[in-house]
Structure 1
Amino acid sequence: MPTLDRIEYANRITCIDTHYQRPGLAACYLLESEGEAVFIDTGTSHSVPHLMALLERKGIAASQVKYVIPTHVHLDHAGGSGELMRRLPRASLVIHPYGAKHMIDPAKLIAGATAVYGEAEFERQLGRLLPVDETRVIEAPDQTRISFGGRELLILDTPGHARHHFCVYDAESQAFFSGDTFGLSYREFDNENGQFIMPPTTPTQFDPETWLATLQKLTAFSPQRVYITHYGEISDPLEMAKKLGQGIEDFAAIARASGAAPGPQRIAEIRANLNAWMMQGLEAHGCRLSAETIDALMAMDLTLDAQGLDAWLTRMEQA
């Protein structure tokens, strides 16, 4: 049954838990303005009933949603796009030019994810990936401006985590909706010392130098807030950008220091060193959670990060 796990922020911004893996891991956002609305990111197809339940609760008709805007095509962000578009008859899908073909024909996304998960686990975690009609897709290169209900959004090309990634700047709230570009920061780690942040280096397009340049591009706007998929509101963006940038540099250094051969052995070595980095950082942050609790929260992220760093090293070695 759909639930309404959400956080209401200022400026008619709603954070919706997409019910991916565990509560508080992944979110998408609903923005409202003068009778129109947009979704930024979608979660998986399993998330869509929760998004539709939120519209019903708020009294927003499906026909009032003007845009669906996945920040990039990783499936925890865009996997529900086809199913959501099927239920929103007047919406257009706004997507990075490098990601558009995968929304129109998700066959390669399906094949890649099925190879990783197997068919049964793919269905359990991600559900169905439905294509989006090409006539309803808007490719949004850098500096694209769109508006809904008199509210303007600016699309910025933001590679580093992935080449098919953009961020969305909302002038009304002076905030970015950043997908994975502004890191991950789980609310379980919040304390009197603020928020803890680290980079998601998910396979396969991690590029540290490009990512650091992207952070400079975002901080040039002096945003008041950043809304991330993993998870919620970043309240001190300029300070957190410094910490995230250091994390990107540290992750790259950890990867470069590995002496193992590419593949499982190197991934295991990198993962162990990422875990040590994280635990040291959380201790310095004043985190009081047990090691077991932290491991339960972060096990999947650390594995994906190590796999992404191994893929990056392999790419450099083959260049």
Structure 2
Amino acid sequence: MTASSPTVHVIDTGFHRPRFDAAYLLVHDGRAAFIDCGLNSSVPRLLQALERAGLGVEAVDWLILTHVHLDHAGGAGELMARLPQAGLLVHPRGARHMVDPTALVAGATAVYGAEEVERTYGTLRPVPADRVVEARDGLHVEVGGLRLRCLDAPGHARHHIVIHHEAERAFFTGDTFGLSYRELDGPSGPFILPTTTPVQFDPEALKASILRMLAAGPERMYLTHYGPVDNVERLAGELFEQIDAMVAIARGHADLAPGPRHAALVAALGRLYTERAAAAAVPCSEAEVLELLHMDIELNAQGLGVWLDREAASGR
């Protein structure tokens, strides 16, 4: 666990590789909240972070999920079973999946395969329905008197919220403000790229969600992948450029059959990101950039393919 401000602690959940997947512990006036939680295997790390902050499990008021993808929410049931006073706050579209995770497992299985889902995520524990609170747009909650505001933030997923930490002029963004790995920090600061998700990417909604956050004048974004970033206006501009570039790449390959199209999208996204990384003078070779972004390129290509199919089905 590392402290990034007097009230926010970054917790590496241990998923995939170091500094890939973060959860956050927010502490104020003897009370606490977790924001996202990683996997079942992440739960001991979160409880250790709480202990190091000098608090017991009874001090946690909320587990707040930005969305219910398993790298953010897979350990929610296991963690909630250890937090006797906490409520689970989640987008209305995601609430039922916390009470009955069957569809979450099925969706992950469709993307990764049953063996990989069992190996990585294990058995998801349901959360009792009376402990789940729907985070409707604009809902405010408090942690030790500290005010947090939940905003609906579609684009990466339709069940996504972002959480406005008003006192710090910051947002916990989940995947809405893209991903930025510390290994790729360059002379101008963080290197960032959008993340599409395999099934619900909506480029215009994603840009609108980013603009809505910018309207609040944030000075910092807390990303799940990975950690806090400043230079918010610059990074937002880079996200907009890349969302448009990714849409153009997808439309340029729309006439291909699914298999060749996916391969072409993977190759084109790799070129886009490595060219931008070189222009930003990131301290990695092209091969290292591709290795670090391998999983994200694959998922972004899947997301663009599903988005193209959805557009074709709608007659756009």
Q: How far does residue 11 in structure 1 lie from its aligned partner after superposition?
A: 3.0
Hey, what does 2:235 align to over in structure 1?
Answer: 240
Structure 2 residue 33 is the aligned partner of structure 1 residue 38: yes
Hey, what does 1:64 align to over in structure 2?
Answer: 59
The whole-number CA distance in structure 1 between the counterparts of 2:84 and 2:11 is 21
**TM-score of the superposition, structure 1-length normalised?**
0.96
Hey, what does 1:207 align to over in structure 2?
Answer: 202
**Which moved further from structure 2: 306-315 or 107-116?**
107-116
Hey, what does 1:282 align to over in structure 2?
Answer: 277
The whole-number CA distance in structure 2 between the counterparts of 1:269 and 1:180 is 24
Contact in 2 for aligned 1:97/1:141 (Cα 8 Å): yes
SS at match of 1:109: helix
Structure 2 residue 114 is the aligned partner of structure 1 residue 119: yes
Q: Structure 1 residues 259 and 207, CA, compared in 2 at 3 Å: closer, same or farther?
A: closer
Q: How far does residue 292 in structure 1 lie from its aligned partner after superposition?
A: 2.5
Structure 2 residue 98 is the aligned partner of structure 1 residue 79: no
Hey, what does 2:187 align to over in structure 1?
Answer: 192
Hey, what does 1:3 align to over in structure 2?
Answer: none
Structure 2 residue 218 is the aligned partner of structure 1 residue 223: yes
The whole-number CA distance in structure 2 between the counterparts of 1:43 and 1:7 is 16
Structure 2 residue 31 is the aligned partner of structure 1 residue 21: no
Structure 2 gaps, min length 5: none
Q: How far does residue 262 in structure 1 lie from its aligned partner after superposition?
A: 4.4
Moved over 6 A (4+): none
Of 134, 145, 148 in structure 2, the residue corresponding to residue 139 of structure 1 is 134
Contact in 2 for aligned 1:96/1:139 (Cα 8 Å): yes
The amino acid across from 2:54 in the alignment is G
Q: How far does residue 45 in structure 1 lie from its aligned partner after superposition?
A: 1.0
The whole-number CA distance in structure 1 between the counterparts of 2:113 and 2:181 is 28
The whole-number CA distance in structure 2 between the counterparts of 1:288 and 1:95 is 37
SS at match of 1:98: helix
Contact in 1 for aligned 2:186/2:283 (Cα 8 Å): no
* Cα RMSD (Å): 1.2
State the percentage of identical aligned residues.
46
Contact in 1 for aligned 2:65/2:73 (Cα 8 Å): yes
Hey, what does 1:177 align to over in structure 2?
Answer: 172
Q: How many residues align?
A: 314
Contact in 2 for aligned 1:11/1:173 (Cα 8 Å): no
**TM-score of the superposition, structure 2-length normalised?**
0.97
The amino acid across from 2:150 in the alignment is I
The amino acid across from 1:300 in the alignment is M
Q: How far does residue 119 in structure 1 lie from its aligned partner after superposition?
A: 3.4
Of 258, 261, 275 in structure 2, the residue corresponding to residue 266 of structure 1 is 261
Of 135, 150, 154 in structure 1, the residue corresponding to residue 149 of structure 2 is 154
Of 5, 10, 14 in structure 2, the residue corresponding to residue 10 of structure 1 is 5
The amino acid across from 1:309 in the alignment is L
Q: How far does residue 288 in structure 1 lie from its aligned partner after superposition?
A: 3.2
The whole-number CA distance in structure 2 between the counterparts of 1:46 and 1:265 is 36
**Which moved further from structure 2: 27-36 or 125-134?**
125-134
Alpha-carbon deviations, 1:138-159, whole Å to 9, x = none? 0011100000100000000011
Of 83, 90, 94 in structure 2, the residue corresponding to residue 95 of structure 1 is 90
The whole-number CA distance in structure 2 between the counterparts of 1:108 and 1:262 is 28
SS at match of 2:81: helix
The amino acid across from 1:281 in the alignment is R
